[in-house]
């Protein structure tokens, strides 16, 4: 692990120290899982900045760490990637997805890893209707811009598991 990635892990853990996932686990488990999908499962190249962006992808949305802190610690490229992955207050998911479609491929891959982890854990939330809505949203807005065959296969596999359970 590079010093920059170690620093991003610390930053992310501090940012999410008080947050919990829908099913009660520490929120920091999610960005770490997204990082692990990209670095341990995905068969493509993952740059150091992409790894940092994966770790920090929810820090602005959760509102604990700000843009100034991210740019000071990790630079403008990382901040731009985190901004692209952050859904703005009041922004519809459709508008968010349109913004993501125009983003670089590395951002698409981080979003795909984020979605994959959320789909894998959707049943843990204990809300089947929410899980099915998440699947619908993924099919309609996320899958159209994921152009990596590995991620498409994994996302479709996770969707199928949810649909079989429901």
Could you tell me the CATH number of the domain that includes residue 70? 1.10.3210.10
82 to each of 9, 24, 116, 154, how far by Cα in Å?
15, 24, 18, 23
- Please state, in angstroms and rounded to a whole number, the distance separating the CA atoms of residues 20 and 160: 26
State the pLDDT confidence band at 64, using cuts at 50, 70 and 90: low
- Please state, in angstroms and rounded to a whole number, the distance separating the CA atoms of residues 115 and 100: 13
Could you tell me what percentage of the chain is helix, strand and coil, using 3-state DSSP and rounding each to the nearest 5? 75, 0, 25
What token pair was written down for 132?
A: 């099915």
Q: Is the pLDDT of residue 65 over 70?
A: no
Q: Which domain holds residue 125?
A: 3-165
Q: Is the pLDDT of residue 52 over 70?
A: yes
Q: Which tens digit of pLDDT belongs to each residue from 76-103?
A: 999 999 999 999 999 999 999 999 999 9
Tell me what pLDDT residue 18 has.
85
pTM beyond 0.75: yes
Count of domains for the chain:
1
Which residue, among 64, 40, 58, 42, has the nearest Cα to 118 in the 3D structure? 58
Tell me what pLDDT residue 61 has.
83
């Amino acid at each position: 692990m590079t010093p920059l990635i170690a620093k991003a892990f610390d930053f992310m853990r501090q940012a999410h120290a008080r947050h919990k996932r829908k099913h009660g686990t520490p929120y920091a488990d999610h960005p770490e899982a997204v990082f692990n999908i990209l670095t341990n499962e995905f068969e493509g190249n993952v740059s150091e900045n992409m790894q940092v962006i994966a770790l920090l992808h929810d820090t602005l949305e959760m509102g604990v760490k700000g843009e100034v802190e991210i740019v000071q610690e990790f630079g403008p490229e990382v901040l731009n990637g985190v901004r692209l992955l952050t859904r703005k207050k009041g922004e519809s998911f459709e508008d968010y997805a349109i913004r993501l479609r125009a983003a670089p491929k590395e951002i698409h891959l981080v979003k795909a890893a984020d979605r994959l982890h959320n789909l894998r854990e959707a049943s843990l939330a204990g809300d089947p209707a929410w899980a099915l809505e998440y699947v619908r949203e993924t099919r309609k807005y996320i899958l159209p811009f994921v152009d990596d065959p590995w991620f498409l296969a994994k996302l479709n596999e996770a969707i199928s598991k949810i649909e079989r359970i429901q």
